[in-house]
């Protein structure tokens, strides 16, 4: 690694950390040329372990010694010329607006996302995030999916980016461990219509997590997953679809999904936060 102490966060060499918005970093037209920012040693290490290419690191001086293994890993896999910009805690506080207790950031190169068919090959349980815009919820759902052995996550066009700094941090870096890609990007109407059809053609039963009059219970869904393969209502491959905060799933998604499923509520509570409901659904439907 090349260690470079910066005098100011206005240094042009750290512009990716200071001057570019998440959207500018993303480069929607050519994702392979875009960047993302990984925050915290744990997230950085998981990204590196998944083969994500570092462009540079920006590290608080007190954290240098503790990240020796990370630097050695980068040297072994990408060579010794990746720069590590070293800043004081006060400088990074100017950058983030708060004390960066996690001590490190890394600008990393995005990669071309695989197709839905590639991500779903061999999968029996996948999750779909429809238009979830809160990055905390995006990251929390990704973390639950990884922890509870969901095979893949699909992200609709209007959903928040799992690689946004906060989403990746909340996921604890599991966004780099679980396969994911975008679904329904081909045209304005590709999601939900073409996307649901694609999942159906891949053999998935599409399940809208929604409180409707004809929703079956989560327990009934679990029964259908665990009954015999010869039973007429048996479900083999499952796609669980979760909607945005507030409005939930779109009416078109609910109308065109194979099933709607609800988690029974008590005490007049009408719904769970999407991150909580996804964890409940992932645990209940785990492959036994």
pLDDT in tens, 38-54: 999 999 999 999 999 99
Residue 3's pLDDT is: 96
> Distance between CA 151 and CA 148 in Å, rounded?
9
Residue 99 scores a pLDDT above 70: no
> Distance between CA 87 and CA 59 in Å, rounded?
6
Residue 49's pLDDT is: 97
Place of tokens 């744990």: 42
Residue 95 scores a pLDDT above 70: no
Residue 28 scores a pLDDT above 60: no
Residue 92's pLDDT is: 76
Residue 98 scores a pLDDT above 50: no
User: Which tens digit of pLDDT belongs to each residue from 62-90?
Assistant: 899 999 999 999 999 999 999 999 988 88
If one counts every other C-beta atom within 10 angstroms of the C-beta of residue 228, the result is 6
What's the whole-model pTM score? 0.91
Residue 235's pLDDT is: 97
Give the contacts of 22 (CB within 8 A, at least 6 positions apart). Answer: 161, 164, 165
User: Which tens digit of pLDDT belongs to each residue from 117-141?
Assistant: 999 999 999 999 999 999 999 999 9
DSSP label at 100? -
Handedness of CA 254, 260, 263, 269 (dihedral sign): positive
> Distance between CA 16 and CA 191 in Å, rounded?
32
Strands, sheet with 216-217, edge to edge from the N-terminal-most edge strand: 180-182, 152-155, 125-129, 237-242, 204-209, 259-262, 216-217
> Distance between CA 107 and CA 187 in Å, rounded?
31
> Distance between CA 25 and CA 259 in Å, rounded?
38
Give the contacts of 54 (CB within 8 A, at least 6 positions apart). Answer: 44, 48, 74, 78, 82, 106, 107, 108, 109
User: Which tens digit of pLDDT belongs to each residue from 142-166?
Assistant: 999 999 999 999 999 999 999 998 9
Residue 115's pLDDT is: 96
Terminal-to-terminal C-alpha distance of the chain = 46
Q: Where are the beta strands (DSSP E) in the chain?
A: 2-5, 35-39, 54-60, 83-87, 104-109, 125-129, 152-155, 180-182, 204-209, 216-217, 237-242, 259-262
Per-residue pLDDT averaged across 271-276, rounded?
Answer: 90
Please name every residue paired with 126 in a beta bridge, in sequence order, or none if there are none: 152, 239
Per-residue pLDDT averaged across 85-112, rounded?
Answer: 78
Could you give the domains of the chain? 2-109 (3.30.1330.30), 116-285 (3.40.1280.10)
User: Which tens digit of pLDDT belongs to each residue from 187-241?
Assistant: 778 999 999 999 999 999 999 999 888 999 999 999 999 999 999 999 999 999 9
Residue 91 scores a pLDDT above 90: no
């Amino acid at each position: 690694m090349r260690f470079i102490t910066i005098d100011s966060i206005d240094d042009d060499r750290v512009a990716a950390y200071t001057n570019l918005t998440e959207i500018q970093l993303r480069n929607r037209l050519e994702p392979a040329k875009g960047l993302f920012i990984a925050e915290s040693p744990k997230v950085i290490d998981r990204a590196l372990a998944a083969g994500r290419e570092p462009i540079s690191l920006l590290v608080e001086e007190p954290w240098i010694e503790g990240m020796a293994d990370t630097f050695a890993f980068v040297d072994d896999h990408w060579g010794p010329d990746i720069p590590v910009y070293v800043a004081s805690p006060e400088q990074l506080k100017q950058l983030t607006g708060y004390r960066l207790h996690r001590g490190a950031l890394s600008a990393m190169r995005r990669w071309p996302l695989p197709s839905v068919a590639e991500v779903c090959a061999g999968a029996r349980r996948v999750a779909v995030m429809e238009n979830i815009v809160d990055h905390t919820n995006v990251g929390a759902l990704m973390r639950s999916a990884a922890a509870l052995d969901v095979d893949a996550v699909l992200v609709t066009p209007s959903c928040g980016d799992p690689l946004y700094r906060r989403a990746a941090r909340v996921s604890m870096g599991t966004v780099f461990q679980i396969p994911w890609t975008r679904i329904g990007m081909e045209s304005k109407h590709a999601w939900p219509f073409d996307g649901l059809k694609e999942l159906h053609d891949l053999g998935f039963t599409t399940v809208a997590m929604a409180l409707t009059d004809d929703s079956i219970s989560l327990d009934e869904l679990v029964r259908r997953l665990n009954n015999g393969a010869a039973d007429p209502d048996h479900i083999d491959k499952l796609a669980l679809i979760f909607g945005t905060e507030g409005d939930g799933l779109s009416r078109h998604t609910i109308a065109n999904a194979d099933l709607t499923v609800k988690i029974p509520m008590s005490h007049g509570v009408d719904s769970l936060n999407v991150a909580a409901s996804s964890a409940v659904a992932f645990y209940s439907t785990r492959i036994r």
